[in-house]
Every structure is written in C-alpha cells, then in structure tokens.
Structure 1
Amino acid sequence: MGSLISDDEGRYIGTEPWWKDALFYQVYPASFKDSNGDGWGDLPGLISKIDYLEELGVDVVWVSPIFESPQKDMGYDVSDYQKIYAPYGTVQDVDALLEECHKRGMKVILDLVVNHTSVEHEWFKESRSSKDNPKRDWYIWRPARYDDNGARHPPTNWRGYFAGPTWTWDEQTQEYYLHLYAPDQPDLNWENAKCREAIYENTMRFWLDRGVDGFRIDTVNKYSKRTDFVDAPVTDPTSPHQPAPEMWCNGPRIHEFIHEMNRKVLAPYNAVSVGELSLTPEPNQVIPYVSAQAQELDMVFEFSVIRLGNGNGFGAKYIYDPFPLSTLKRLTAKWQSFIEGTDAWATAFCENHDNGRAVSRFGDTSTPDLWSRSAKTIALWQATMTGTLFLYQGQEIGMTNMPPSWGMEEYKDIESANFYAEAVESGDGERVRKTMHGLRILARDHARVPFQWSDEPNAGFSDAGATSWMRVHDDYAAINAARQRHDPDSILSFYKRVMKLRKRYKDVFVFGSHKLLDPDDEEVWTYVKEGPGSGGGRDGTPRKALVVMNFSRSERGVGDVATALGCNEGDVRLLVGTNGPAPSQGRTWPALVAWEGRVYTNFDP
C-alpha cells in the first residue's frame, strides 16, 4: 500500500510507499528486556514491551541479530540462519513477535548478515574440509606469499575492521581465508552463483515465508570484492596491515548482486530493505543503490553524520577528532538534499548499535537540565528530517554514554578491545590515552548498555538478583522510561509529541525539501523545510517550516522568521518548541535560551 501525502485539510499531494513515512525503531535484543533473569535480553522480553513501542508511535521494529551464533561479534557471526540463539528464545518466539506486532498494525524486520558467516557455520566447515569440497568456493581462499627468506605472508597487506590482517591461515588446507572483520567471520564468496542462491533461500525466503516484513541488510556494499587481490598503498607506515576499503566497497559487480537479490527475493515478497552503506561518501555513489528505477534497495544508511568524531583512517578510528557545529550542519544538509530531483530516497538517524549515544556526542550532558534540553533539541532535529526516520532503543529517553569513570574492563565489544590492545601493544602511552578518550565518546559499547526501564534493581532490565551481561548504567535511577512516561515535560513525552507532528505534517517534514540557512553559525542551526505541491500556507504560498535550534549554552536570537518563511509577520505560527510555548512580542520572537529549539510555520497548526 502507498502512503497518502496530504496536508491537514486533506488536499491530495501524492502517494508514496508506506515505509517512507514510517517510524522504525531498532532493538538490540541482548540489552532490551530480559524476561527470565539470566541477564540477557530475549524475545519474550521484547514482546512484553510492544505496547510501549506502539505508544511511542513505532511502525516497524528492527531486531538486531538473533540467529544461532557463538557471539564473537554479538550475533554478527551467524552459525545457523534458521535457528535462534537459545538465550534469545526460539523460532516460535519470532512467530509470536510477528503476531503481536502485526495485530497492532506494526511490522518487523530482521538483521540480515550475509557478507560473512561464523567459522562454525556448516557451509564454512565444509569449505575448509578440503580444497576439492563442493563448497570450497563459497568462501574466499588464496595461497600464501613467501618472501626471499621463505617466510609465509598473507595474500595481501589489507587491514581488517577490527585491527589486524584480513587473512587467516588454515593449517588443514594450507591456504588463507578472507575476513574483513574478525577471523571468526569468514567472508562469503558472492561470485559463486550457488552460494548466492543458498543465501537467498536459507537466510531470506525462510524468514519471509514466516511473515517477516523485510530486512536491515548488514555491510550491503561489500559483497563484490576486487578479485585481483593486490596490495593496498602504504598509508600507515607503522603497521604491516593497510586500510583497503577500495578493494571491497562498491566493487565491480555490487549492483548486479543487489539487483539480483531484489529481483529474486525482496520484490516478490514486497519486502522492505534498508542497507548499511559504509565508506560511500558521495551522493553519486549512493543514488544507484536507492534509485527506484534501479530496483535494488529501498533505503540505505549513509554514515557521514553518525561517524563524525571518528579519527581518520582505520588505525586512528578511536582517536577522537572534534568537529564544529558547521560541519554537522553541512553534512546533514548534504544528505537531506541529495535526493532532490531524483527518484531516490533518504534515511534520518543519529544513533545505532555501533556508535556512542547522540546526547553525549551532539548534545550537552554536563548538567541534568542541559541533558534534558539538548536531548529534546536532538529529538526536534530528527523529527524534522526528510526521509525515513530510525530511532535506536533508549534514544527516546535520552540514554547517555557509559560513565567516564568506568574502566576498560566494562567495554565488552570486540572492536573496542582490539583497538585498545593495539594501542597498548604500540608502547605509546599517549596513543593509549587518546584511544581510551575516544572510546569513552565513540565506542560501540555505549549503545549496548541495558535499557533503563525503571529505578528498580538492574534498571528493570532484568530481575533484581540477575547479573546482566553488561553493567547497568550508574544513572538508571535518574534516567529511565518509567520516570518519564507520565511526565509531560520529559524527553520521552517530547519524542511522542514530535513524532505525531511529523506524521501529521509529513508533507513538510518527511517529504519536504531541506534548505540550510546560516551555515557558518557555530551555535544556532537553522533550516527551512518546504512541502511539495502548491498552496497550503496562510498566504497561499507552499507550506513551510523554519527549524531553529540553539546548540549552545548562550542565549541567541531567532532571526527574521517571517523572511525565512517568505510570509508576512502575521502569518507566522509556532508549531512546537522544546521549552513549550514562546509567544511573539509584537513583531519579534523571544530569544532562544541554552539548548532550545523551535519550529515556526506559515500555516495554522
């Protein structure tokens, strides 16, 4: 079904696919809700909170990996795509989740991890059993290189995402296998047509036949590698392993593979798809993936905004690189406007399972008041973005990064551990200090701290006597869903309010154009959203909204609102503000206090 785009008076503007104005909510199941007291979140726990998600306005629940796995990378190392990792529950629990969501008009998408499997997957066990096994070519194997002294070396000098080489020696068959991530995650060979068909049948159709509504597709632009397997240029002379994303991102057959996936699986099931598109920083690279005419993916995540602060290069990823507001503004504007004049589509998000918390990175957590103000302003920013909006669990209550007092022993993620170990092994004390500083801001662990449901022991995530798989945040008594649920001034209540406004005025916020104003202002962020179609404004002009947000602790003026909206002073209306009503005083509007945001319109709310 399509989504009717109309103004609040019901005037027709157009029809678009349902997922464009849907609110997606990512659940990291290990950390969402534990139902049985083992300290590990599970599917019954998620099911018990579906009403909470419905109340928030969620249309689609995205469940991060739940398949059978040895959990070397929190389920992104799958050993059986048709079984559920026992601590999460069973296949029947997935069926129950689908039933509970579907009867509420909500949909469910699963995380599809098919760039690689676990070394414990039966396919890989067969592949490594002998060089003439029928599945040998389902993974990427290459012989060793030897230097003049007879020493063995990997086929190339590529550095992996989790530090170290991308190749691991297999003693049994005397060859190396490729893994862009951990050695436990060997890459599948998408060049092999039988392998691709097995992926479609075993990992996709199996779940679509059970009623799953689509997939978030992991590492979607890495399936096609360069097959000449040459060394990458030496850009880090301190390491034998060199960054080489140009060898495996957006490779020569990638669009052929994704189009085939769509033609054979996604389209026949009318399944929604959103791909993880890393290291693809230009619009002309992204559009081919999400052009409606290309028939590949519905949407992708482009990471320029969410990766702000990451150090340059693979080795320096966690050496924090501060950025000004103007950089955040310009990148947001770039990825808001890149679809204009095309048949492509955008996504909006500022949190996920692989990054630090938005309020800790883009907001101000120095005091409880500034934490609340800045979290609401971030909510306003997200609610007014063009494209399909994705929220991450806990974002709606302003969950923060792990306390800076926590030591490295609380960081459980494989990437955090490997980058920290690499810094220690370097013997450079300053590098260790900078890496730890960067991890405190950017580490994937921050998003994986258990959800803070209440001020009960274990934050209501698990039973009082349970030991949670990750430590519960020290601030859970102050920051939790129960405390905010019935507080009209809470972050959660504000999220609910602006999500409803986003849906009501989707012609402006979801489908409207984005025009950045004052790009060099390092404290105030201002942009105009304009809906498609003609009329709708009080003066007969197209409907517009002016979003003005103070990203500082200083009081700042809002500027000439009427001129920005292209209307008369008397036609300006305040739609919503993070601090509540802010009535005009004659021809002027009150200044913005610290971390305050407002939306003005040229139409009646």
Structure 2
Amino acid sequence: MSNWWKTATVYQIYPRSFMDSNGDGIGDLQGIIQKLDYLKKLGIDIIWLSPIYDSPNDDNGYDIRNYYQIMQEFGTMEDFNQMLDEIHQRDMKLMMDIVVNHTSDEHEWFQRYHDFYFWQDQPNNWNSLFSGPAWEYDAYRGQYYLHIFSKKQPDLNWENPKVREKVYDMMRWWLDKGVDGFRMDVINFISKDPELPDGPNGDGSAYFMNGPRIHEYLREMNKEVLSKYDCVSVGEMPGTTPEDAKRYTDPNNRELNMIFTFEHMDLDGGPNGKWDLKPLDLVGLKENLEKWQHALHDVGWNSLYWNNHDQPRIVSRFGDDGRYRVKSSKMLATCLHMMQGTPYIYKGEEIGMNNCALDSIDAYRDIETLNMYKAKHDAGVDHETIMTSIYAKGRDNASTPMQWSDASNGGFTTGEPWLQVNPNYKDIHVEAALQNQNSIFYHYQQLIQLRKTIDVMTTGSFHLLYREHPDIFAYERQSNAEKLTVYCNFSVHEHQFDLPDGDVLIHNYKELASTDKLILRPWEAVVFYVNGGHQS
C-alpha cells in the first residue's frame, strides 16, 4: 500500500455548519458539493466529513442510530453518492468519521442485543466525560448501562466478537462504496477492563483508555478490513503518550496510520481541566510538540492540528484575533505545517475565523457546554464566571456557520441558521479572502503546495531552537539534501536573532525587516530554505 496520506493535507468539514443548499438553516451534502471547487482551489487532498449518519443528534451526530443511512437533514444516499463521485472527479479523497465506541440508544442493536453493551445491577463509580455518572438506569431491563459520554450514547461491548463483526461489516460496506478511509472517534476507548473496577474519585479512564485488548482489536480491524483497501486510518485517542502512539502507528504493528492526540490542546487548561482557564505557556507547547516530533520520526506518523470540531478557534486561543488576526493566523499555520506529519485544516481556519461569544446561554447548542453550565450553576458558580470559560473553550466556537460572503448569515443559509453566525462575517468571509492575494487563504494554499514539492517537510528531522525563549517558537527540519529553519513569534514583542542560512521560502510579512539581522516583528513567521547544501 502507498503512503499517499503523508504528503496530503486534510480539510475537516462539519456538515451542519458548512453550507446550506435548501434554506432550512442546516448545512447539507448538496451544500458541500457546491463548494468542492473552493476546496480544490485551496489545494486539499482529503476531505474529512464529521458524522452524517442517521442520528437523533444528541451529540452533533456522534450518536449514530443507523450506520447505513444518511441523516435526513443532510440529504439522501443519492446525494452522498453524487458528492463522493464529484470529490473523486476533482482528485480529492473522502475520509468518513466513524463512531464505534458507542451508538445511539435508539440504534437497533441497543433495542435488540443486550450483550452488545455493558450492563450492571450495581454500577461502579465512573463519571461520564459529559458530567454526571457514567451509568444510566433502564427501567425496562432493570439494570444500568454504561455511557462514557451522553446517556444517549451507550458504550459497545467489544469483548463480544459479534459486535466486532458488525463493525467490520459496516466499515467494508463504506469502503466498497468508494470512501478512502476513516477517522475513528475515541477509538482507544473500545477496550474496557472486564472487571469494570471503581476509579479514583469516579475517574475510570485508567480502565477504558488504551485498555487491555486495544492493540489486539486494532490489529484484527486492520487484518479484517483496513489492509484490504488502499485507505487512510486515523484514530482519535485522548490520554495517549508518545510511547502508546508508536505502537498504534508503527507500520510493522499493522494497526493505524496516525492518531490524534490532545496533550498540546490541554496546555491552556488549569488543574481542573479545560474550563479552568490559564494562559498558554509557549515553552511547554514547544517541548510537547518536540516530544511528539522526535518520538514518531522514522517510526510512526503524526497528525498536525490546531482546530477541529472539539476545539475553540486557534487564532483566539494561541494567537491575537484583534489587531493581528491575519498575521497571527498565518504564523500559527506556518508553525504547524512545517512540522512532520499530516496537517489538518478545520472549516474556516483558512480565512481566520475566530471565537464567537453568543448572545446568551440559550443560544448554545453543544451538549458538553450545556451540561457543564448546569453542573457549575447548580454548584453555585456565578453566571459570568461560567460564561467566560464558555467564550474561551466551548465547542460551539467551532460550530458557528462558515462565512462565505457579506450577505445575510454570511451566505451560509437563506433561512434561520441552526446556530448563530459570528457577527464579524461582514468583514471575515471567503469572497474577501479570495479577492486579496495577501489573505490567510492564499498563505494556506502556499503551505499546502510546498508540502507536495519540498521533501524535507515530509521526511526531515526536527531540531528545536531557543528552547527557553518565552515568545519564539523556532526549529530546524533537516534531511540529506535540504534544510528548513522556521521562526515564529507568538507575541507582540520584537525580537532579534542572527540571520540564518537560506532564502525565504514563505513569510507572513511582505519582506524582512533587515538584511543583516533577523528582526521578528509582532506575530511574524518566516521560513528559510537551503537546498543541497546551497542556498535555493
């Protein structure tokens, strides 16, 4: 099998918020079809589609009722077939998001097959990741079932070989249809400790993250399904170390191509988790990304991302979404894309979409956010304190509709959008980006093209520079014939360095501030390139 995904760039579409073709306020498959030429212009190789299966939509489609049907508000299977065909006509590929740690409680399996799920008469003390206990009483059965997430998302029991067989059948069905791979939601949760012991203070993660049979299950999935197709496989894996990741992504182990980790996304959370806000410690971020770059080099493969459907907007988080929104968006893109791995762009990242403080708690739609608000409010935390955390970290920051133009609702819909559009759509939108050659869009386009032509971006080693510098993220990438030196200023302060060898490969200012020193201005990013030991 080829490693085509190593030089590819992925674009994640959150279909509900991408483009609405019929005015019902909800993005849909025909809307995606309308915008495929836009993604082709950007240079995208793989489209990752968040779940579009039939679902009661308790958790934005990550609660699947039927793996073989399209959610009605997104369209029909005919729409899907057309979309897949049009994606392939443009030499792009489609990666489906599958959720096989749990299903919806409305799935036929939950209604019919007791042994497909976890049941107990006396549940353990685990807490759900969406607040409250991880067990729900079912009056019909007179027992409790396990749900690591929402109570409408019962966990599948992978100890049962019939469960695995059903999952593999479903995966083959989609691959036979022509899809090009899978992103697998919380796939490292599928193996639970069969004893289901209590966890410290209700934290059961030690017994369901990277569980006892996880590698066995993934090798079986690879043998039965993935190895039979030229497809890409990406596992979302919270609580994973670099050592774990080596095992998951080493081709010799025949498990997955790459995984999503979360460590670098947890660095601006305090001791009480993501809602406990603290400023980014850049030294910590550098050391974390360095650790992953070194660990997987020549062994496995990294996924490179700042944004996805679970994360707030990176320009509001690690950048400056005010005066330096454009500069810091380009800087963050440069910093990430020059590393080793497959880069992921999340809808709207390429035009610098930022966080949006919605009008009131009633305007929010995300179940994690709403559950957290209720739990904290009931515990006596004041409204303003909770909302400050939501404005910074809520998942609805990523869900606000795509801003296509300065028309009503950003050109996303002619109807009432399912979630409020960021009011800054009048200024930040695709039409404006496409008309401005210095826009964030064209910076991303250039980064994507460079990955296809500069081998050192894919193969080179990683060497961190200025480790303890509080504002500058600088590193070198080196292979036998090529060298990149990357400088990124994560601040409004100016900093001066010796000018490195090479010519400027990509830059977020029009030109260097000096010809004899490297003077980094606010949020400046510049990459120097040496080819074959000579300046390019």
TM tier relative to shorter chain: over 0.9
**Do the aligned partners of 2:15 and 2:27 also contact (CA within 8 Å) in 1?**
yes
The alignment status of 1:527 with 2:475, answered yes or no, reads yes
Distance in 1 of aligned mates of 2:269 and 2:282: 15
Deviation at 1:584, TM superposition (A): 5.5
Question: Counterparts in 2 of 1:188-207, with a 5 A limit?
Answer: 188-201=156-169, 203-207=170-174
Question: Counterparts in 2 of 1:372-387, with a 5 A limit?
Answer: 372-387=326-341
Task: State the SS of the aligned residue for 1:296.
Answer: coil
C-alpha offsets along residues 508-546 of structure 1, whole Å, 9 cap, x if unaligned? 112211111111111111100112xx3x3xxxxxx1111
1:595 — aligned with what?
Answer: 523
Q: Which amino acid aligns with 1:384?
A: M
2:230 — aligned with what?
Answer: 270
Distance in 2 of aligned mates of 1:433 and 1:512: 47
Task: State the SS of the aligned residue for 2:82.
Answer: helix
Task: State the SS of the aligned residue for 1:554.
Answer: coil
Q: Could you list the runs of 5+ residues in structure 2 that have no partner in the other structure? A: none
Distance in 2 of aligned mates of 1:109 and 1:124: 27
The alignment status of 1:554 with 2:502, answered yes or no, reads no
Deviation at 1:50, TM superposition (A): 0.5
Distance in 2 of aligned mates of 1:233 and 1:386: 37
C-alpha offsets along residues 87-124 of structure 1, whole Å, 9 cap, x if unaligned? 10111111111111111111101100010011111110
Task: State the SS of the aligned residue for 1:275.
Answer: strand
Distance in 2 of aligned mates of 1:184 and 1:494: 42
Deviation at 1:558, TM superposition (A): 3.2
2:255 to 258, 283, 296: 296
**Do the aligned partners of 2:183 and 2:235 also contact (CA within 8 Å) in 1?**
yes
Moved more, 319-328 or 515-524: 319-328
Question: Counterparts in 2 of 1:342-353, with a 5 A limit?
Answer: 342-353=298-309
Deviation at 1:223, TM superposition (A): 0.5
Question: Counterparts in 2 of 1:196-275, with a 5 A limit?
Answer: 196-201=164-169, 203-234=170-201, 242-275=202-235
The alignment status of 1:472 with 2:421, answered yes or no, reads yes
Deviation at 1:581, TM superposition (A): 2.8
Distance in 1 of aligned mates of 2:109 and 2:278: 41
Q: Which amino acid aligns with 1:456?
A: A
2:51 — aligned with what?
Answer: 65
Q: Which amino acid aligns with 1:483?
A: A
Distance in 2 of aligned mates of 1:590 and 1:512: 24
1:10 — aligned with what?
Answer: none
**Do the aligned partners of 1:319 and 1:437 also contact (CA within 8 Å) in 2?**
no
1:388 to 305, 329, 342: 342
**Do the aligned partners of 2:498 and 2:518 also contact (CA within 8 Å) in 1?**
no
C-alpha offsets along residues 406-441 of structure 1, whole Å, 9 cap, x if unaligned? 322222100000011100010233xx5443222211
More helix by share: 2
The alignment status of 1:354 with 2:321, answered yes or no, reads no
2:280 to 323, 334, 350: 323
Question: Counterparts in 2 of 1:296-445, with a 5 A limit?
Answer: 296-313=255-272, 316-340=273-297, 342-367=298-323, 370-403=324-357, 406-429=359-382, 432-445=383-396
Task: State the SS of the aligned residue for 1:354.
Answer: coil
Task: State the SS of the aligned residue for 2:308.
Answer: coil
From the superposition, tell whether residues 600 and 428 of structure 1 become closer, same or farther in structure 2 (CA, over 3 Å): same
Task: State the SS of the aligned residue for 1:475.
Answer: helix
Q: Could you list the runs of 5+ residues in structure 1 that have no partner in the other structure? A: 3-16, 127-134, 145-154, 235-241, 537-542, 563-571
Percent identity between the two aligned chains: 40
2:21 — aligned with what?
Answer: 35
Distance in 2 of aligned mates of 1:445 and 1:511: 36
C-alpha offsets along residues 201-231 of structure 1, whole Å, 9 cap, x if unaligned? 1x31121111111100011100000111221
Distance in 1 of aligned mates of 2:467 and 2:359: 37
The alignment status of 1:491 with 2:447, answered yes or no, reads no
2:430 — aligned with what?
Answer: 481
Task: Tell me the number of residue pairs that the alignment of Structure 1 and Structure 2 aligns.
Answer: 533
Deviation at 1:264, TM superposition (A): 0.4
Deviation at 1:602, TM superposition (A): 2.1
Distance in 1 of aligned mates of 2:378 and 2:345: 37
**Do the aligned partners of 2:245 and 2:296 also contact (CA within 8 Å) in 1?**
no
**Do the aligned partners of 2:52 and 2:61 also contact (CA within 8 Å) in 1?**
yes
Task: State the SS of the aligned residue for 2:356.
Answer: coil
Distance in 1 of aligned mates of 2:255 and 2:213: 13
**Do the aligned partners of 1:109 and 1:215 also contact (CA within 8 Å) in 2?**
yes
Distance in 2 of aligned mates of 1:47 and 1:520: 47
C-alpha offsets along residues 219-268 of structure 1, whole Å, 9 cap, x if unaligned? 1100000111221123xxxxxxx222111001111111111111101111
Distance in 1 of aligned mates of 2:497 and 2:426: 36
**Do the aligned partners of 1:306 and 1:351 also contact (CA within 8 Å) in 2?**
no
Deviation at 1:164, TM superposition (A): 0.4
Distance in 2 of aligned mates of 1:263 and 1:121: 27
1:575 — aligned with what?
Answer: 505
Distance in 1 of aligned mates of 2:204 and 2:405: 45
Deviation at 1:590, TM superposition (A): 4.5
TM-score by length of 1: 0.86
Task: State the SS of the aligned residue for 1:591.
Answer: strand
**Do the aligned partners of 1:320 and 1:434 also contact (CA within 8 Å) in 2?**
no
Deviation at 1:550, TM superposition (A): 1.2
2:405 to 433, 454, 464: 454
- How much is the aligned-residue C-alpha RMSD, in angstroms? 1.4
Deviation at 1:498, TM superposition (A): 2.0
Question: Counterparts in 2 of 1:1-16, with a 5 A limit?
Answer: 2=2
**Do the aligned partners of 1:40 and 1:469 also contact (CA within 8 Å) in 2?**
yes
Q: Which amino acid aligns with 1:355?
A: Q
2:146 to 174, 178, 183: 178
Distance in 2 of aligned mates of 1:433 and 1:246: 34
Distance in 1 of aligned mates of 2:404 and 2:200: 49
1:97 — aligned with what?
Answer: 83
Moved more, 343-352 or 26-35: 343-352
Q: Which amino acid aligns with 2:410?
A: A
Distance in 2 of aligned mates of 1:139 and 1:590: 60
State the structure with more CA Rg.
1
Distance in 2 of aligned mates of 1:115 and 1:99: 29
